[in-house]
Amino acid sequence: MNELLRPSSVLDDSTNDDAAPDLWARFRQTTRARIGLGRSGDSLPTQALLDFQLAHARARDAVHSQADFVRIAADLQPLETIEVTSAAPDRATYLRRPDLGRRLAPKSHDRLKHGNWDICFVIADGLSAAAVDAHAAALVHATLPYLGGWQVAPVVLARQGRVALGDDIAERLGARLVALLVGERPGLSAADSLGVYITWEPKVGRQDSERNCISNIHGAGLSVAAGADKLGWLLNQAARLQLTGVNLKENAPALCAPEPAREPD
Amino acid sequence: MAGYARVVGHTLHRFDDLKSLMACASPRRSGDELAGIAAETDERRIAARLVLADLPLVTFLNDALIPYEEDEVTRLILDTHDAPAFRKVAHMTVGDFRDWLLSYEADTAALTALAPGLTPEMVAAVSKLMRNQDLIAVAAKCSVITRFRTTIGLPGRLSSRLQPNHPTDDTAGVAASLLDGLLYGIGDAVIGINPATDNVPAYIALLELLETVRLKFSLPVQSCVLAHVTTSIQAIERGAPVDLVFQSIAGTEKANKGFGVTLSLLREAEQAALSLKRGEIGNNVMYFETGQGAALSAGAHHGVDQQTVETRAYAVARAFNPLLVNTVVGFIGPEYLYDAKQITRAGLEDHFCAKLLGVPMGVDVCYTNHAEADQDDMDVLMTLLATAGVNFLIAVPGADDVMLNYQSLSYHDVLGLRHLLGKPPAPEFEAWLENAGWLDDQRRLPPWKAGSRVVKNLLEQAV
């Protein structure tokens, strides 16, 4: 037992500082977790309770917003884009029928011409249009420099889309790899979190264990630059080893790798 | 096997086979509707229950819902069935079995002795005939006790997992949430981190942080980084201080393949963890998470309803003597559990079914922002589960998991439940709190004063 953790009395272990500093200040810079909230008896203090309820209300509102694919297409130029929709016709159906969100609407089939591509990027709204609006185009641009000499398919913008929709799209396009960027379900402190799922030889019926995932790309999470660094590394490893999934272990030394600018070249 | 039928009023309800009967008897939920196997009407649901109530329990030994030849989980269930233990209830129908479970005769000793004689399908079937109150009353009579550095599951106690997740695995950020939780006396079941990215160096960095804090303050706790089982095995090979090996599991061979695991891989992982001999008062070294809907979401449910498939996952769990198992009940989303009513029911079913099978069950009382539920609903479920004797609950700072983007319980909630119901944490951990002088004369852990020396010292010392 560490003596420093022993109060002189449970009911009075305060220091003599009249103006007690916020002991959590140093830690609040390292996390958005709701630390050091204090207690009203065993419950949350009123302000903390209402802060939580406001965040929850906003997250629920965010689930039902629409991605701005017109602006994303403009941001992606000079890359070509193709807009498709899943078989889920609206949000309400999308939420209860994930099977429809994993398949293309028949009317979208003709938009995807078979070609010979090394990689296809798919941007799917998922459960957060805000994430896709904020980070998707920037992540694609930041990843391209890692793919020297690759044949990159037009970027597909998919409405009411889930992760496995990328398999259907990439198989029709004839791409050897798919990187599907998707809005992750909103949390209270991050309603704009983007995830990326990478699949080698995508085809309908692939299992989740055959994919690799990068999650939590948002302002207070993984930056777009760091996400692109990881994504570029994973895509090159996938192409080299000709696989993705649990057998492609990430031996990248750190999640937020330093900028590879000091490499002699 | 011929089908089943029952006339109710003027309608003849037919059920093609046993799994169809089970699915129709299940309480309504969106996942079974998504799979197209739910009863179309409320009357048909009750007709199925009337048939089920008259069905001999032994039927489930002779009519496998998922064929023995096709599925290693079915083979595990039938090959390890303890016939002598089953003899006590072998003559009963499912309805008789419900009545017996609720009787005074079915006490803790009787239920403990019976557990190896029960199959998941028997337990799932009887749960479909039980109201929420029945699920609570019978679960409260079950006792499943496990040990590593603390003893979890003792009667009259409530343990907790401290879950200090961080979106980029930043060690200072993880430490902040960890220290915050310790100040509420949380973490006697496990301090367990879901890593943002599954790789060996990140896994080892997080584990070493937990080990440093544990040793510095002589905490009687066990730690876990909830990566894929193959990551844990590699970390063990590199000499990392691994207490518990984690894996998500499901109730069919194909669904487990979706998670990248087989029974033999889990056996290999258990042996690797046991080889480290780090348990101080016991050798339960595995930690599993489950949840209704996992098999369906992997397209691997074989037409079986989601509550029954979930219960089969507990047969997988109990084969590896886990320290901890928990259902992540509201995490999966509204396509499987639509609203708070369905989440509440599923949480009570999962806890009851696991306990009856002899599995040390805890629950992550939780929901996502696209489900029709909120914190008021979690208050209800946590109180029901604590009354039912749940082994542990999961808690995060302010109920908000900033990595996995969902809401669980707050540290406040678990501490408040402990005080409300008079259920202290594991005895080893309670002794630590007492020796530290953190408990008041009513054995409560009171709020820390502004500028508390203890808080100041803890925050400055730890990292």
pLDDT digits (tens, 9 = 90+) for B254-270: 999 999 999 999 999 99
User: Which tops the pLDDT comparison, B180 or A247?
Assistant: B180
Residue B463 has pLDDT above 80, yes or no: no
Q: Considering only CA atoms, which of B257, B200, B195, B277 is closest in space to residue B232?
A: B200
CB A82, CB A161: distance < 8 Å = no
pLDDT at A221: 84
Q: Where are the alpha helices (DSSP H) in B54-170?
A: 59-62, 72-79, 83-86, 94-102, 108-114, 120-127, 132-139
| Number of DSSP helices (H) and strands (E) in chain B, helices first | 22, 15
Residue A259 has pLDDT above 70, yes or no: no
Give percent of chain B above pLDDT 90.
Answer: 93
Query: CATH 3.20.20.70 region(s) of chain B?
Result: 146-436
pLDDT band, very low/low/confident/very high, at B79 (cuts 50, 70, 90): very high
End-to-end Cα spacing for chain A: 54
Task: Show Cβ contacts of residue B327 under 8 Å, excluding neighbours closer than 6 positions.
Answer: B289, B290, B291, B292, B310, B346, B347, B350, B351, B354, B361, B363, B364
Give me the residues of B, 292-311, that contact A with CB < 8 A.
Answer: 297-298
Partner-chain contact B453 A14, CB within 8 Å: yes
pLDDT at A15: 55
Q: Mean pLDDT of all residues in chain B?
A: 96
DSSP character string of chain A: --GGG--S-TT--B-S-SS---TTHHHHTT--S------BTTB--HHHHHHHHHHHHHHHHHHT----HHHHHHHHTTS-EEEEEBS--SHHHHHH-HHHHTSB-GGGGGG-----BSBEEEEE-TT-HHHIIIIIHHHHHHHGGGSTT--BPPEEEEET--TTHHHHHHHHHTBSEEEEEEEPPP-SS-S--EEEEEEES--TT--GGGEEEEEEESTTSB-HHHHHHHHHHHHHHHHHHT--STTS----S-SSPPPGGGS--
- Minimal Cβ distance to B335: which of A39, A95, A188: A95
Helix/strand/coil for B193:
strand
CB A159, CB A84: distance < 8 Å = yes
Helix/strand/coil for B329:
coil
Domain ranges of chain A: 69-248
| Candidates A1, A3, A5, A125, partner chain B, best to mutate (most B CBs within 10 A) | A5
Partner-chain contact A30 B30, CB within 8 Å: no
What is the number of CB-based contacts under 8 A between chain A and chain B?
A: 236
pLDDT at B68: 98
User: Which residues in B lie closer than 8 A to residue A13 (C-beta atoms)?
Assistant: 448-449, 452-454
**Closest Cα in chain B, distance from residue A213 (Å):** 8
| Lowest mean pLDDT, pick from B3-7, B137-141, B457-461 | B457-461
pLDDT at B64: 97
- Minimal Cβ distance to A15: which of B231, B368, B453: B453
| Candidates B183, B197, B443, partner chain A, best to mutate (most A CBs within 10 A) | B197
Residue A93 has pLDDT above 70, yes or no: yes
User: Which residues in A lie closer than 8 A to residue B173 (C-beta atoms)?
Assistant: 27, 30-31, 33
pLDDT at A2: 64
| Candidates B257, B335, B370, partner chain A, best to mutate (most A CBs within 10 A) | B370
Using CB atoms within 10 Å of the CB of residue B212, give its burial: 0 to 12 exposed, 13 to 18 middle, 19+ buried.
middle
pLDDT at B150: 98
- Nearest residue of B to residue A248 by CA position? B199
**Closest Cα in chain A, distance from residue B61 (Å):** 31
CATH superfamily of this structure's domain A69-248: Ethanolamine ammonia-lyase light chain (EutC) (3.40.50.11240)
B392 touches A at CB < 8 Å: no
Quick one: tokens of A203? 């085809």
**Closest Cα in chain B, distance from residue A98 (Å):** 7
Report helix angle B306-318 to B72-79, nearest 10. 60
pLDDT at B462: 73
Dump pLDDT digits (tens) for B336-375: 999 999 999 999 999 999 999 999 999 999 999 999 999 9
DSSP H or E run through B346? helix B340-356
User: Which tops the pLDDT comparison, A20 or A227?
Assistant: A227
- Minimal Cβ distance to B199: which of A10, A98, A251: A251
Report helix angle B263-275 to B72-79, nearest 10. 70
Q: Mean pLDDT of all residues in chain A?
A: 88
Beta bridge partners of B286: B245
Partner-chain contact B369 A184, CB within 8 Å: no
pLDDT band, very low/low/confident/very high, at A250 (cuts 50, 70, 90): low
- Minimal Cβ distance to A56: which of B369, B449, B459: B369
**Closest Cα in chain B, distance from residue A77 (Å):** 30
Residue B282 has pLDDT above 60, yes or no: yes
B440 touches A at CB < 8 Å: yes
pLDDT at A262: 27
Instruction: Over range B109-123, report the average pLDDT.
Output: 98
User: Which residues in B lie closer than 8 A to residue A207 (C-beta atoms)?
Assistant: 257-258, 298
Dump pLDDT digits (tens) for A168-207: 999 999 999 999 999 998 888 778 899 999 999 999 999 8
pLDDT at A164: 96
Q: Which residues of B426-451 are buried (b: 16+ CB within 10 A; e: fewer)?
A: bebbbebbeebbbbeeeebbebbbeb
Domain B4-139 has CATH 3.90.1300.10: no
Partner-chain contact B167 A23, CB within 8 Å: no
Dump pLDDT digits (tens) for A8-36: 665 556 655 545 677 898 899 999 999 99
Dump pLDDT digits (tens) for B23-77: 999 999 999 999 999 999 999 999 999 999 999 999 999 999 999 999 999 999 9
CATH superfamily of this structure's domain B146-436: Aldolase class I (3.20.20.70)
- Nearest residue of A to residue B171 by CA position? A30
Helix/strand/coil for B326:
strand
ipTM over 0.90: yes
**Closest Cα in chain A, distance from residue B92 (Å):** 39
Per residue, what are the HEC states of A165-219?
HHHHHHHHHCECEEEEEEECCCCCCCCCCEEEEEEECCCCCCCHHHEEEEEEECC
pLDDT band, very low/low/confident/very high, at B281 (cuts 50, 70, 90): very high
Dump pLDDT digits (tens) for A109-134: 999 999 999 999 999 999 999 999 99
Give me the residues of B, 36-55, that contact A with CB < 8 A.
Answer: none
Query: CATH 1.10.220.70 region(s) of chain B?
Result: 4-139
Dump pLDDT digits (tens) for B316-328: 999 999 999 999 9
User: Which tops the pLDDT comparison, A7 or B445?
Assistant: B445
pLDDT band, very low/low/confident/very high, at A257 (cuts 50, 70, 90): very low
Residue A1 has pLDDT above 90, yes or no: no
pLDDT at A61: 77
